Amino acid sequence: MTRPPAHDHAAEQAVIGAALLNPSVVADLAPTLAPADFHRPAHGRLWETLCAMHAASEPVDPIALAARLATTGDLAKVGGAPYLHTLIAAVPTTANAGHYARIVADHARRRQVADLGVYFAEKADQGTDVADILATGRAMLDHAATGTQWAPLIPLGDRRHLPEFPAYVLPKWVAEHVYAVAEFTQTPVDLAGCIALAALSTAAGGRAEVEVRGSWREPTNLFTVVVLPPGSRKSAVFAAMTGPLLAAEKALVERTKPAIVEAELAARVAGKTAEKAAIAAANADTSGRDTLLAEATAAAMNADAVTVPVLPQLVADDVTSEEAASLLAEQGGRLAVLSPEGGVFATIAGRYSGTPNLEVFLKGHAGDMLRVNRRSRAPEHVEHPALTLGLAVQPDVLRDIADMPGFRGKGLLARILFSLPENTVGRRKIGADPVPEPIATAYAANLGTLVATLAEWTDPAVLPLTPEANERVLDIERAVEPRLAPGGAWGHVVDWGSKYTGAVVRLAGLIHLAEHLRDGWGKPVTAETVERAALLGEYFAAHALAAFNDMGADKASRNARHILAWIERTGSTSFTKRDAFRALKSAQLPTAGDFDGPLAALEAHGYLRQIDTPERPRSGGRPSSPTYLVHPDVHRQDAPVHALSNAPRSA
């Protein structure tokens, strides 16, 4: 049980190398040799790609294969183009390709038998019924003996293989804090990373814009939403990432208080002066009234010109749209709504008023002029509003917001950068190291510096692009446009995809300002910064596709993903329907019958294979529970499951 799994990497290399030298090898071996038969994941991925190219009548050669892998982003994962030539050099003769393939397949069968031994041991330790263990074992042995192949997985459009947040593209002082907080709280890096972006947006939003070309400018505020279930320590991460903002807000308040006292005193003095001048003009005789009236008018205008500053507020929590508009007007157009909950969605959907009010959030993201007139108070006018949204919501909230009036149709969802990280609950390390003091101190100090540097700006600082950076933005636009066409990869989320390039530009602006804390407004944004932002853009694009799919998924698909997550979490290679029911019975799946649809969906997509048919005992009683085998690729960390590009387009 402790020996290395059976394999022969030389034979695997020879099979793939022979296929690259002689394309007919793929046609001969594809029906009997599956990607899962290869022990090395990179070899399995190469074989899967070769079979797909052959099925599509595409040329099969090293150049075509390298181009295909580069397009899918897999080239580096398999060793790069040089490794393809290494594979070719490893082939003694293509005539023996069938022999090499039999070696690979034989080792795969041996690994299946070894897995069966592990299965027996695990089930015996768990106290599973012996008859069930033996029945499943016999079926598994039959599959191993006959070499029954698994077909490639048909994606459910789930989030299991989404990319991890690339925190390394952030400035060092931000990235180090993100990784340290994620380690200490034992949460996904995605959570701390997305809140870090919201924190940078809070510090810079409304005070800087990126000038792309012509009249196209992008403000530097973002809407980010992270989706995680309850108990994921969202509040702890929020506190660690946004605490310095509250400290910076307090520093601004302390700095503003003397100015407020001075302005209030000046206003009272000017008011008294204007009042006295008005009384004098009213009591004057006709000969001197005109002069006194002019003096009273000037005094009144002076009194009206005295503006009393408001206490600075950077962050709000659960606010109504009306409150957000008022705060934006008071705070010079800058405000952030940051919360580890998603209650603000229900609020703007009309929880209190009964009427959805999205205008503040739509204009607050775009930077369009906001003017609010109410009978009970003076008109509120914001020339360039910059609203930041940083939330962590539960999965149910994600599915609910798609049905909230206007959220999709008016474009609110199109403005959100979604993150659907993998839940770490149940696999967290106990006693993780706390955030090192120097890292926390540097993060707090630098974030405070960014707030203070831009706090006094009234008109936004303009950040131009270098010519090279502009060319990189053009490259992104060229790559995105075909995806938005009907039938394109983003055709079902064209509203979100249309704002993709702008989102990358905003991210580039935030990275630039965080790299140049005190003088970012005086430097152009470089191509290297845009490139780093583009990596974040790719991350958010993958997660957005999964989020929109989840919002539009039906109940059976959602429950299928729920069962699949359990399979992955437990490492099950086989299980009975009764096992799944006992483990997952809940309000979501209350009866055994509720498992039929999700299990059928998983079987139809190739994740499972039922290996027996339940029969009712002759003496009556309950029939045996059906047993399912799990596709080997489910437990491969780098399984080539392209869930996003093939996601259903019903959303």
Residue 312's pLDDT band, with cuts at 50, 70 and 90, is confident
Judgement on whether residues 441 and 547 belong to the same structural domain of the protein: yes
Which pLDDT score, from 0 to 100, does residue 425 have?
Answer: 86
Q: What is the domain-level CATH number for residue 562?
A: 1.10.10.10
Q: How far apart are CA 232 and CA 22, in angstroms?
A: 52
- Report the percent of the chain where pLDDT is more than 90: 29
Asked if the structure places residue 53 within a domain, the reply is yes
Strand order in the sheet with 386-393: 315-316, 334-339, 386-393, 223-227, 416-419
Q: What is the tens place of the pLDDT at every residue in 236-260?
A: 999 999 999 999 989 888 888 888 7
pLDDT at 133 over 70: no
Which pLDDT score, from 0 to 100, does residue 553 have?
Answer: 54
Judgement on whether residues 571 and 583 belong to the same structural domain of the protein: yes
Which pLDDT score, from 0 to 100, does residue 4 have?
Answer: 60
Residue 206's pLDDT band, with cuts at 50, 70 and 90, is confident
Average pLDDT over residues 445-463: 89
pLDDT at 557 over 80: no
Q: Poorest-confidence range of 206-215, 499-508, 560-569, 626-635?
A: 626-635
Which pLDDT score, from 0 to 100, does residue 468 have?
Answer: 96
Q: How far apart are CA 14 and CA 455, in angstroms?
A: 64
Q: Buried b / exposed e across 116-153, counting CB within 10 Å, b at 16+?
A: beebbeebeeeebeeebbebbbebbeebbeebebbebb
Q: Poorest-confidence range of 156-170, 289-303, 427-441?
A: 156-170
Judgement on whether residues 531 and 629 belong to the same structural domain of the protein: no
Judgement on whether residues 535 and 560 belong to the same structural domain of the protein: no
pLDDT at 172 over 90: yes
Q: Which H helix or E strand runs over 538?
A: helix 527-552
Average pLDDT over residues 383-395: 88
Q: Is 200 helix (H, G, I), strand (E, B) or coil?
A: helix
Q: Which residue has the higher pLDDT, 363 or 507?
A: 507
Q: What are phi and psi of 112, to 5 degrees?
A: -65, -40
**Alpha-carbon separation of residue 29 from 19, 22, 88, 353, 458 (angstroms):** 9, 12, 17, 65, 68
Asked if the structure places residue 404 within a domain, the reply is no
pLDDT at 165 over 90: yes
Which pLDDT score, from 0 to 100, does residue 463 have?
Answer: 95
Average pLDDT over residues 11-15: 91
Judgement on whether residues 450 and 534 belong to the same structural domain of the protein: yes
Q: What are phi and psi of 15, to 5 degrees?
A: -60, -50
Q: Which residue has the higher pLDDT, 639 or 53?
A: 53
Q: How far apart are CA 512 and CA 515, in angstroms?
A: 5
Which pLDDT score, from 0 to 100, does residue 649 have?
Answer: 29
Which pLDDT score, from 0 to 100, does residue 651 have?
Answer: 29
Which pLDDT score, from 0 to 100, does residue 70 have?
Answer: 82
Which pLDDT score, from 0 to 100, does residue 432 have?
Answer: 92
pLDDT at 556 over 90: no
Q: Which of 552, 579, 597 is the last residue of a domain?
A: 552
Judgement on whether residues 516 and 562 belong to the same structural domain of the protein: no
Q: Poorest-confidence range of 136-150, 174-188, 271-285?
A: 136-150
Average pLDDT over residues 23-45: 83
pLDDT at 62 over 80: yes
Q: Is residue 243 a contact partner of residue 445, using CB atoms and an 8 Å limit? A: no
pLDDT at 184 over 60: yes
Average pLDDT over residues 34-58: 83
Residue 351's pLDDT band, with cuts at 50, 70 and 90, is low
Q: Is residue 580 a contact partner of residue 595, using CB atoms and an 8 Å limit? A: yes
Which pLDDT score, from 0 to 100, does residue 552 have?
Answer: 65
Average pLDDT over residues 14-20: 90
Asked if the structure places residue 543 within a domain, the reply is yes
- Report the percent of the chain where pLDDT is more than 70: 84
Q: Which of 305, 326, 345 is the last residue of a domain?
A: 305
Judgement on whether residues 535 and 624 belong to the same structural domain of the protein: no
Domain count of the fold of the chain: 4
Q: Which of 552, 578, 599 is the last residue of a domain?
A: 552
Judgement on whether residues 81 and 49 belong to the same structural domain of the protein: yes
Asked if the structure places residue 198 within a domain, the reply is no
Asked if the structure places residue 328 within a domain, the reply is no
Which pLDDT score, from 0 to 100, does residue 488 have?
Answer: 74
Average pLDDT over residues 459-480: 93
**Alpha-carbon separation of residue 643 from 20, 35, 136, 543 (angstroms):** 27, 17, 30, 11
Judgement on whether residues 525 and 581 belong to the same structural domain of the protein: no
Judgement on whether residues 287 and 274 belong to the same structural domain of the protein: yes
Asked if the structure places residue 61 within a domain, the reply is yes
Q: Which residue has the higher pLDDT, 380 or 294?
A: 294
Which pLDDT score, from 0 to 100, does residue 173 have?
Answer: 96
pLDDT at 140 over 70: no
Judgement on whether residues 539 and 566 belong to the same structural domain of the protein: no
Asked if the structure places residue 88 within a domain, the reply is yes
Judgement on whether residues 500 and 570 belong to the same structural domain of the protein: no
pLDDT at 327 over 60: yes
- Closest to 9 in 3D by CA, of 94, 107, 80: 107
Asked if the structure places residue 65 within a domain, the reply is yes
Q: Which domain holds residue 582?
A: 555-635
Average pLDDT, the chain: 82
pLDDT at 26 over 90: no
Residue 355's pLDDT band, with cuts at 50, 70 and 90, is low
Q: What is the domain-level CATH number for residue 67?
A: 1.10.860.10
Q: Which tokens go with 542?
A: 């993958």
